Amino acid sequence: MKNLVCPMLLCAFLCSVSFANEDLKTNQRISVYLHPITLISSAIGNYLTKNESPFLLYLTGEIPLNKFNSLIVNPSMWAGGLGRGEEVFRLGSGIGIRHFVNRENQGLYLQFMGNYHYFLNLKLIDKIAGDEYISGSGSIADILVYIGHSMKFSRISFFSDFGLGYGRNNIKKKNFSEYSDYDWRLAEEGKTGLSFDINMGVGIPF
């Protein structure tokens, strides 16, 4: 019986190392996340309002750099109507670093993120001579710090986080002075202020 103790202990140790390595391999795989709540709610809103609510698509890519840091890329797109003759289009991405507190590429994390997007807002003005638009276009940029939590399994990954930071838009208006009496939702030119963001992602590791 004593002769079997050492082999059994060795086998248990090797198995534990094997499972630990498997978890590490799982945690260090590239993951692509979809933001399902944003996607589904925007699709339902677009359908119920008959295209007077924009369609929103957010993706997040996570590329592990080591045991405790990952590169995060967050492309997104807005497209569709806002009602009252308005259309909106926004396209861009964020890029940042996610730092895991427990150094296992999952669990509690802090994240530093910079975002840059192109933005276009159009409002149709009905005129006897024909249709004319007032418009605003330009860039929106912000920098945020997030706190969040991540869970990773062999075939699926999850994360959720909340971010707070500072942003600025560089939107230029066209034909706005002529139609300034119209109720228009576009933000003021050059506006700066507080930015916040809430995310929940479901992803697939590769």
Domain ranges of the chain: 29-205
With a cut of 50, which residues of the chain have pLDDT below it?
A: 1-2, 4-23, 128-129, 183
| CA–CA dist 34, 57 (Å, integer) | 8
Within 10 Å of residue 11's Cβ, how many Cβ atoms?
10
Tokens for 41?
């709610």
- The amino acid present at 145, given as its one-letter code, is V
CATH number of 29-205: 2.40.160
Sign of CA dihedral 88, 41, 93, 144: positive
Query: Measuring CA to CA, which residue among 154, 159, 151 is closest to residue 205?
Result: 154
Residue 148: per-residue pLDDT = 98
Residue 26: per-residue pLDDT = 62
Residue 7: per-residue pLDDT = 45
Residue 33: per-residue pLDDT = 98
At 47 the three-state DSSP class reads: helix
